Amino acid sequence: MKKNKISLKEIVSHAKQYGFVFPSSEIYDGINAIYDYGQYGIYLKNNIKEYWWKSMIQINKNIIGLETSILMHPKIWKASGHVYKFKEIFLSNEDTKKSYRLDLLIENYFKKNNYFKKNKDLKKNIIKYIDKKLKINEKEKILKIINKMKILNPKNKERTKWTKIYEYNLMFKIPLKEHDDVNKKFYLRPETAQGIFTNFLNVLNSSKIQIPFGIAQIGKVFRKEIIARQFIFRMREFEQMEMQFFIHPKQEDKWLEYWKKKRLRWHLSLGLGEKKYRVYEHEQLAHYANKAYDIQFKYPFGFKELEGVHSRTNFDLKNHEKYSKKKIRVFDKENKKSYIPYIIETSVGLDRIFLAVFSSCLKKETIKKERIILKIHPALAPIKAAIFPLIRDKRLMAYAKDIYKKLKIYFILTYEEKDSIGKRYRRQDAIGTPICVTIDFKTLKDKCVTLRFRDKMLQKRVLIKDLKREIKKETSMNKLLKLLI
Ligand code: ATP
């Protein structure tokens, strides 16, 4: 079997052609970095969500779920530090006048420079120096050191003079009422976490849950990303799946390691291959973090952040105490003292998992003929089984429709009768349907149907009465959940 590589361009085009991802507002020429999910994309997205949700809430008795609002009290964003610190620093250069994110430029520079692999201390000192200058707003000094480092222009890989450095808050500011001016400073949330922190007391008071425990949430967030490229990897409106785990401060290291391993195992369970993942410990930390790991994934454009596992310490709860003037504490029975819990956060972009799954499972194979196949885990597949009459014969069609009608309450199915059976198989391969069920003339006599499995194209005949069990066995999400316990 010949396997051919698929480029990012082909991935984007397949996503559109087969109803997974569409550019938003396309009939008006689209908007940069905003996308819509199509008829199959929404199933795949929902299946990823369901798997994450179950893996957090259903199999962990000390994790509960919430859904909090997108709009929140403006003071929350002051307390969380986002108003002053949720900024990106950009550099632009003389040659192209294009802007580049400072942190990414530096990260790439160190990655490509073998000298720093041996001189790790020098690398650390440079990062520390830049961080310090950022904190005290000495931007010119940063420009100077960047020019000294001779960081190349990413566009043409040539030497350049970096001439401008500026910062940019990533939050969308909106007026809440018709005639409000923007100075009222409501924001679209840039992370779901703050809704969890501000409900910490509500959860504690309305349940019997005790530390250590977690609160999980899935929801839309918004960021004014200026450098928005690479398809759905970096969007301005996207979905996060976050879990905030509240712990005693002394257990910070233990739980950070625990969640790093646990989340990596979750990603590995999707079957995309161990080599596609790596864990990177942060040298530059977000304003709220003490220690942080990125789980990175090998996208078609290289290893990039998929999920963050951070120790947020008591930074957020402490500041919410200060700004809200409400005590946000728990009582430590051993020491007879109350304390503000520490938080270990796992934060992953749903759209980034979607892209990881979609881009690495889309394959081009040639066995006699070429076929494009989306080899995703059957539990994530948009359509679980396709029901086909072999040809457009009235008796076969009636039989197939009857099977579809009986099984559609258990699974997401499709019924198709147009085109040749070969063409119908190819279409289902391209959207990742794990099983095709064909009803032929023999079925009328022996009450058996032919199952054709997507990956190996193997066929087997089963009794109609066993069909439900067969589809369930192949596509059940429990198969995935079992890998986690
Ligand atoms: P990056 O360095 O790529 O900008 P980040 O460190 O700012 O990411 P976090 O603030 O830690 O990201 O957000 C948690 C997760 O949300 C990320 O690991 C990623 O999966 C996802 N995410 C962040 N920004 C975007 C975006 N613009 N589009 C899609 N997903 C995103």
What does the DSSP 8-state code read for residue 379? T
> Which CATH number characterizes residue 422's domain?
3.40.50.800
pTM recorded for the entire structure? 0.90
- In total, how many domains does the chain have? 3
Question: Which residues touch 310 (CB under 8 Å, ≥6 apart)?
Answer: 286, 288, 289, 290, 291, 292, 293, 344, 345, 347
The dihedral through the CA atoms of 199, 205, 207, 211 has a sign that is positive
Q: How many angstroms does the Cα of residue 326 sit away from the middle of ligand 1? A: 30
Question: Which residues touch 56 (CB under 8 Å, ≥6 apart)?
Answer: 63, 65, 214, 216, 243
**Is the CB of 219 inside a 6 Å radius of any atom of ligand 1?**
no
Structure tokens at 26: 């396309």
Which of residues 169, 197, 225 is at a domain's end? 169
What does the DSSP 8-state code read for residue 158? B
**Is the CB of 440 inside a 6 Å radius of any atom of ligand 1?**
no
Same domain, 317 and 392: no
Same domain, 327 and 447: no
Q: How many angstroms does the Cα of residue 212 sit away from the middle of ligand 1? A: 26
Query: Is residue 32 included in any domain, yes or no?
Result: yes
Structure tokens at 406: 């009986």
Query: Is residue 182 included in any domain, yes or no?
Result: no
Same domain, 402 and 445: yes
Residue nearest to atom 9 of ligand 1 (CA): 308
**Is the CB of 345 inside a 6 Å radius of any atom of ligand 1?**
no
Using the atom order of ligand 1, give the atom closest to the CA of residue 353: 20
**Is the CB of 305 inside a 6 Å radius of any atom of ligand 1?**
yes
pLDDT at 38: 98
**Is the CB of 346 inside a 6 Å radius of any atom of ligand 1?**
no
pLDDT at 180: 62
Same domain, 449 and 400: yes
**Is the CB of 347 inside a 6 Å radius of any atom of ligand 1?**
yes
Same domain, 315 and 407: no
* CB of 249 closer than 8 Å to CB of 342: yes
For 45-105, the DSSP string reads HHHHHHHHHIIIIIS-TTEEEE---SB--HHHHHHTTHHHH-EEEEEEETTT--EEEHHHH
Same domain, 335 and 443: no
Pairing mode of beta strands 435-439, 385-389:
parallel
Task: Report the interhelical angle of 139-149 vs 102-112 (nearest 10°).
Answer: 30
* CB of 240 closer than 8 Å to CB of 367: no
Which of residues 136, 169, 202 is at a domain's end? 169
Q: What is the largest CA-CA distance in the chain?
A: 83
> Which CATH number characterizes residue 49's domain?
3.30.930.10
Using the atom order of ligand 1, give the atom closest to the CA of residue 304: 3
The Cα–Cα gap between 113 and 279 comes to 20
* Partners of 85 in beta bridges: none
Same domain, 260 and 310: yes
Same domain, 356 and 221: yes
Same domain, 211 and 235: yes
**Is the CB of 102 inside a 6 Å radius of any atom of ligand 1?**
no
Query: Is residue 181 included in any domain, yes or no?
Result: no
Distances (CA, A) of 293 to 81, 205, 235, 264, 289: 20, 32, 22, 11, 10
Query: Is residue 175 included in any domain, yes or no?
Result: no
Same domain, 46 and 112: no
Same domain, 12 and 131: no
**Is the CB of 240 inside a 6 Å radius of any atom of ligand 1?**
yes
Residue nearest to atom 30 of ligand 1 (CA): 349
Same domain, 154 and 201: no
pLDDT at 101: 85
Of 345, 282, 358, nearest to 315 by C-alpha is 345
Query: Is residue 253 included in any domain, yes or no?
Result: yes
Q: How many angstroms does the Cα of residue 281 sit away from the middle of ligand 1? A: 15
Residue nearest to atom 18 of ligand 1 (CA): 307
Residue nearest to atom 29 of ligand 1 (CA): 234
* CB of 434 closer than 8 Å to CB of 384: yes
Using the atom order of ligand 1, give the atom closest to the CA of residue 307: 18
Of 419, 418, 409, 414, nearest to 435 by C-alpha is 414
Which of residues 135, 169, 203 is at a domain's end? 169
Residue nearest to atom 4 of ligand 1 (CA): 234
**Is the CB of 238 inside a 6 Å radius of any atom of ligand 1?**
yes
Residue nearest to atom 25 of ligand 1 (CA): 234
Structure tokens at 119: 């001189």
Q: How many angstroms does the Cα of residue 305 sit away from the middle of ligand 1? A: 7
Each residue's pLDDT, cut to its tens digit, for the chain (485 residues) gives 666 789 999 999 999 999 999 999 999 999 989 999 999 999 999 999 999 999 999 999 999 999 999 999 999 999 999 998 898 888 888 777 788 888 888 888 888 777 777 777 787 788 888 888 877 878 888 888 888 888 888 777 788 888 888 888 999 998 777 666 655 679 999 999 999 999 999 999 999 899 999 999 999 999 998 766 799 999 999 999 999 999 999 999 999 999 999 999 999 999 999 999 999 988 766 666 678 999 999 999 999 999 999 999 999 999 999 999 999 999 998 889 999 999 999 999 999 999 999 999 999 998 778 899 999 999 999 999 999 999 999 999 999 999 999 999 999 999 999 999 999 999 999 999 999 999 999 999 999 999 999 999 999 999 999 999 999 999 999 999 999 99
Q: How many angstroms does the Cα of residue 454 sit away from the middle of ligand 1? A: 33
pLDDT at 182: 54
Query: Is residue 59 included in any domain, yes or no?
Result: yes
Using the atom order of ligand 1, give the atom closest to the CA of residue 306: 20
pLDDT at 229: 73
Residue nearest to atom 22 of ligand 1 (CA): 349
User: Which run of H or of E encompasses 2?
Assistant: strand 2-4
Query: Is residue 81 included in any domain, yes or no?
Result: no
Residue nearest to atom 13 of ligand 1 (CA): 347
Q: How many angstroms does the Cα of residue 349 sit away from the middle of ligand 1? A: 6
Starting at the edge strand found earlier in the chain, the sheet holding 362-367 runs 2-4, 362-367, 369-374
Domain extent for 480? 377-484
pLDDT at 227: 67
Query: Is residue 290 included in any domain, yes or no?
Result: yes
